[in-house]
Amino acid sequence: MKKSFLLSCILAAAFAVGATTTARAHEGCAASACSSAEKVAACADNGAAVDMDKGGAAKENVAEGYKLGQKVPNFTLKDSEGKDHSLADLNKDKIVAVIFFNQSCPFVQEMESRINAFAKDYAAKGVSVVAIDAGVNNKPEDIAKKAKTLNFPILLNPDSDLAQKFGATRTPEVFLLDKNGVVQYHGMFDNGEKGAEANSRKTPAQDATDALLAGKEVAVKETDAFGCTIKFKKVADNKHHDAEKKEKKS
């Protein structure tokens, strides 16, 4: 009797916690309202369902992506002002930090000032920082407004194709390319507010950059990126867009 009563209490408590987490996820939990644990569980994708299958594009729609040691092909995207930025220009005798970015994401907001400082401090050292908004939940005019406050451009990838080529799924997520455009680091920018709460903040992206600038091997080449899931444009929409392109060409 006691055992069954205790078991029923445990199940009821677990259900209550799960219901609260789900409710917060769908309500769009503000960063200030979440503890670190809750932010990961309920706020990770800024209000949409946490599972990508319920939120943005389904997991099977995300490409495997560029691997460590692989050269990234040239690409060109427009910024919020309509100016073209190509990887070839960014990469000219420079290291490039490609950061998948979402200004609405609480994880990005928490790291934004540090990413901005990194971009400013490392520009003179031969490092180009570029953010890519590959989701569908920010308006171009809002991105343009945000970009004016930053030391790096935000490029638009509204059809999400480049993010899928990189295999990016989170914001912020960093791909560090050497001067030859080869991926030398992939993962988190830093370990976020958890680093401030622990003994010290880990900065793997910056450490990898320092190693490349010094001509040394990157010690930690890959970490687990964490943050908001990218709200990919639906693959069905992309196929429709491709079909329209073909019709126009013909």
Picking from 31, 45, 34, the residue whose alpha carbon sits closest to that of residue 169 is 45
Q: Is the model more confident about 179 or about 44?
A: 179
- Rounded mean pLDDT, 146-158: 95
pTM of the model: 0.71
pLDDT at 243: 40
pLDDT at 196: 59
| Domain 49-249: homologous superfamily in CATH | Glutaredoxin (3.40.30.10)
Range of lowest pLDDT (39-53, 144-158, 169-183, 231-245): 39-53
Cα–Cα distances in angstroms (integers) from residue 128 to residues 123, 179, 236, in the given order: 6, 10, 34
Most confidently predicted of 14-23, 111-120, 196-205:
111-120
pLDDT at 136: 81
pLDDT over 70 for what percent of the chain? Answer: 66
Domain ranges of the chain: 1-43, 49-249
